[in-house]
Amino acid sequence: KAGVTQTPRYLIKTRGQQVTLSCSPISGHRSVSWYQQTPGQGLQFLFEYFSETQRNKGNFPGRFSGRQFSNSRSEMNVSTLELGDSALYLCASSLEWGNYGYTFGSGTRLTVV
Amino acid sequence: DQQVKQNSPSLSVQEGRISILNCDYTNSMFDYFLWYKKYPAEGPTFLISISSIKDKNEDGRFTVFLNKSAKHLSLHIVPSQPGDSAVYFCAALTSGTYKYIFGTGTRLKVLA
């Protein structure tokens, strides 16, 4: 079965712009989580969605937002980009909320210049 | 405040020997721990997990040990293989929150 698909794979944006990243979970998976990976901070949890509702949120500013659609696909939006937002953004899906068996996508590499 | 710490950013091990990756945590509410492996240009893949009611879990060449009193867990890979070369992340969470807290990762290099 197809894995978790994230688009685009690479993105270059200018400071102050906004960006939308997309994640298609494994078919049948209803929970989608987003993580930011940077060299110094490792993997940091952004938020988790289940049944179109945000169930969990990490410690990121309000510029980071997300949503989930009825088909479980999820989007993540970052507004007013800052240089420090340059990172690999990873999406993970699981069957149900609270299921520990997350499968990660390959990520979207965002570079802010 | 880094609640999950992997103090060794890198580790080199000879093929066939044991690799030991360490992880320390500070939050005593964590009761479930996982290890993920990540190759370049790919997302992390789940490796092995352990609940706080156990002190050891084994899956083939991979064994995770949990020392709750020391708030320490370790991943043992025996024997190490060149294909094990990757970045390993440990993660912890509290049941009911389902919010993973990851460490910063340890890059393992297995030398042929």
Look at residues A113, A17, A9 and name the one whose alpha carbon lies nearest to residue A63: A17
Mean pLDDT across chain A? 91
| A59: enclosing H helix or E strand | none
**Would the pLDDT of A12 be above 80?**
yes
For B44, the closest of A55, A97, A104 (CB atoms) is A104
Q: Are B19 and B31 in contact (CB under 8 A)?
A: no
CA-nearest residue of chain B to A90?
B43
CA quadruple A51, A54, A55, A59: dihedral, nearest 10: 160
pLDDT of residue A1: 56
What's the whole-number mean pLDDT along residues A100-106?
A: 82
What's the whole-number mean pLDDT along residues B71-93?
A: 95
- B99:A58 CB<8 A: yes
CA-nearest residue of chain A to B42?
A106
pLDDT of residue B40: 82
Taking only the tens place, the pLDDT of each residue in B42-73 is 888 889 999 999 999 999 999 999 999 999 99
**Would the pLDDT of B1 be above 90?**
no
Taking only the tens place, the pLDDT of each residue in A38-87 is 877 778 889 899 999 998 888 899 999 999 999 999 999 999 999 999 99
What's the whole-number mean pLDDT along residues A92-109?
A: 82
| B73: enclosing H helix or E strand | strand B72-77
Residue B77 phi/psi, 5-degree rounding, is: -120, 115
- A42:B103 CB<8 A: yes
pLDDT of residue B98: 64
Residue A83 phi/psi, 5-degree rounding, is: -55, -35
pLDDT of residue B78: 97
Percent of chain B with pLDDT over 90: 76
How many pairs of residues across A and B have Cβ atoms under 8 Å apart?
Answer: 57
Length in residues, chain B: 112
Bridge partners of residue A76, in order along the sequence: A21, A66
Interface check for B35 against chain A (CB to CB < 8 A): the answer is: no
**Would the pLDDT of B20 be above 80?**
yes
Task: Map residue B84 onto helix, strand or coil.
Answer: helix
**Would the pLDDT of A94 be above 90?**
no
In chain B, residues with a C-beta closer than 8 Å to the C-beta of A98 are: 96, 98
